[in-house]
């Protein structure tokens, strides 16, 4: 299947993605998922992301805030708005400290346009991306966006919301990394079930590998409710865990 055809398919089924993470009526209970991802580097806690994902009849909203806990204290926040058809409405990233900066990605005609407002004394610039409006945002430090991408991947093959009996092929997605000002091709591959030790006990989790062309693989683990609970980046001695 061609790249654009895959993205069109993903857009068509995106309305089924969020119910995968727990059956619910979106107009009555807009909250889909919320929590905290804690980042450990060589066993030391260094940062965390708090996030909230909501859905209603007009679309979905993912809000996130990232804070580092070592070295120069950094704080960033992001808001991702997606239409009910799976297209990007608007993505906003803001650096709150140690400097002030902002990036906005939004549709412009039939492509995406990034508006970059760097920290002073930089000058605002624009970066076009000639990609479909269904392209997923996958920004640095925001792990909840990886969860949404996983749901998009699962929705293509598991519209019923269960992994059993699904054929999950190795699949590529076109994405945008706004902080890198770059379009990236991301590959996701399902690796079956693995017994993972978390909180002193073993848990049976579904394993997925996420990789870009230039980066080392990330191993993502989801629980029975298809919630992302752990990320392992072995090459960087980094673990991201949801308590």
pLDDT (average), residues 158-176:
86
Element (H, E) at 20: helix 17-20
Tokens coding 22:
């727990």
Residue 15 has pLDDT above 70, yes or no: no
- Residues of the chain with pLDDT > 90, as a percent, come to 71
**pLDDT: which is higher, 166 or 180:** 180
In angstroms, the CA 120 to CA 101 distance is 8
Each residue of 180-192: pLDDT tens digit? 999 999 999 999 9
Q: What is the pLDDT of residues 188-223, one digit of tens each?
A: 999 999 999 888 888 999 999 999 988 899 999 999
> What pLDDT does 170 receive?
95
- What is the spatial distance between Cα 139 and Cα 51, in angstroms, rounded to a whole number? 14
pLDDT tens digits for range 71-121:
778 999 999 999 998 999 999 999 999 999 999 999 998 899 999 999 998
Q: Which residues contact 98 (CB under 8 A, 6 or more apart)?
A: 72, 73, 74
pTM over 0.85: yes
Higher-confidence residue of 1 and 219: namely 219
Residue extents of the structural domains in the chain:
3-241
Count the alpha carbons within 13 Å of 24 in the hemisphere toward its beta carbon. 19
Euclidean distance between CA atoms 59 and 15, whole angstroms: 8
Rounded distance between C-alpha atoms, residue 242 and residue 193, angstroms: 18
pLDDT > 70? residue 232: yes
Mean pLDDT, rounded, of the chain:
87
Confidence of residue 164 (pLDDT cuts 50, 70, 90): confident
pLDDT tens track for 33-85: 999 999 999 999 999 999 999 999 889 999 999 999 887 789 999 999 999 98
Share of the chain above pLDDT 70, in %: 87
Q: In this structure, what token pair is assigned to residue 116?
A: 């970059």
Q: CA-CA distance, 39 to 32, in Å (whole number)?
A: 22
């Amino acid at each position: 299947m061609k790249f654009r055809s895959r993205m069109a398919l993903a857009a068509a089924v995106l309305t089924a993605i969020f119910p995968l993470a727990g059956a619910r009526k979106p107009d009555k209970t807009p909250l889909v998922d919320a929590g905290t991802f804690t980042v450990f580097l060589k066993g030391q806690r260094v940062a965390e992301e708090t996030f909230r994902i909501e859905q209603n009849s007009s679309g979905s909203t993912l809000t996130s805030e990232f804070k580092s806990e070592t070295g120069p204290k950094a704080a960033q926040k992001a808001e991702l708005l997606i239409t009910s058809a799976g297209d990007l409405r608007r993505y906003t990233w803001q650096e709150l400290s140690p400097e002030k900066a902002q990036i906005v990605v939004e549709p412009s005609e039939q492509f995406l346009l990034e508006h970059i407002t760097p920290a002073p004394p930089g000058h605002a610039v624009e970066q076009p991306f000639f990609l479909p409006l269904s392209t997923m945002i996958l920004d640095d430090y925001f792990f909840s966006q990886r969860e949404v991408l996983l749901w998009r991947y699962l929705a293509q093959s598991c519209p019923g919301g269960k992994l059993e009996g699904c054929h999950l092929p190795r699949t590529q997605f076109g994405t945008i990394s706004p902080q890198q000002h770059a379009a990236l091709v991301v590959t996701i591959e399902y690796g079956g079930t693995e017994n993972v030790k978390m909180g002193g006990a073993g848990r049976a989790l579904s394993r997925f590998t996420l990789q870009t062309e230039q980066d080392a693989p990330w191993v993502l683990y989801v629980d029975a409710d298809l919630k992302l609970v752990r990320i392992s980046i072995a090459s960087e001695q980094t673990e991201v865990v949801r308590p």
